Amino acid sequence: MSFNTAKITTSKYGSKDYTLGLDEIVISKEIDWNNEDRKDELVFGKYYATEEEDKNNKNLYKLEYRSQFGFHLKPYNEHRPNLIGAMNNGVIAEIPFDICKQLEAFVGYPISKYMPVHDRYETQEQYDMNFR
């Protein structure tokens, strides 16, 4: 297993959408700090086995940080035409220990090795029906 990959599983009531057919995702070095004034990125030593970050591949995900919720993974190319998302759908990734330790150093508190994967998309009509 490479140091920038994560095995994914689905919770009891979850279902895969964008991750359908995938058992593992690749984690980008980039972190979306969501309007915070930070530029930290993940660092992998030169002797670490890593998967290539193909920015056009649907298995490439990046970490996003929201101060009220913490970290989650989202598709690197998250925008899909005429759809809203990405949202949590009960898909969970098992993050490598080295990545968890780097994230803990960035934010100053423990990070679980199990992290939500936001891979669900909805049309505007579906979103309105569910949330309004």
* Residue 36 exposure: Cα atoms within 13 Å on the Cβ side: 15
**Which residue in 121, 25, 28 sits closest to 76, CA to CA?**
28
CB 88 within 8 A of CB 18: no
* Cβ neighbours of residue 125 closer than 8 Å, sequence gap 6 or more: none
In the block, residue with structure tokens 């990125």: 41
Q: What angle do CA 18, 2, 93 make, to 5 degrees?
A: 40
pTM confidence score = 0.87
User: Coil, strand or helix: which one is 57?
Assistant: coil
pLDDT string in tens for the chain (132-residue length): 578 899 999 988 888 888 888 999 999 999 999 877 888 999 887 767 777 788 888 899 999 999 889 999 999 988 888 888 888 889 999 999 999 999 999 999 999 999 999 988 888 898 888 877
CB 60 within 8 A of CB 54: yes
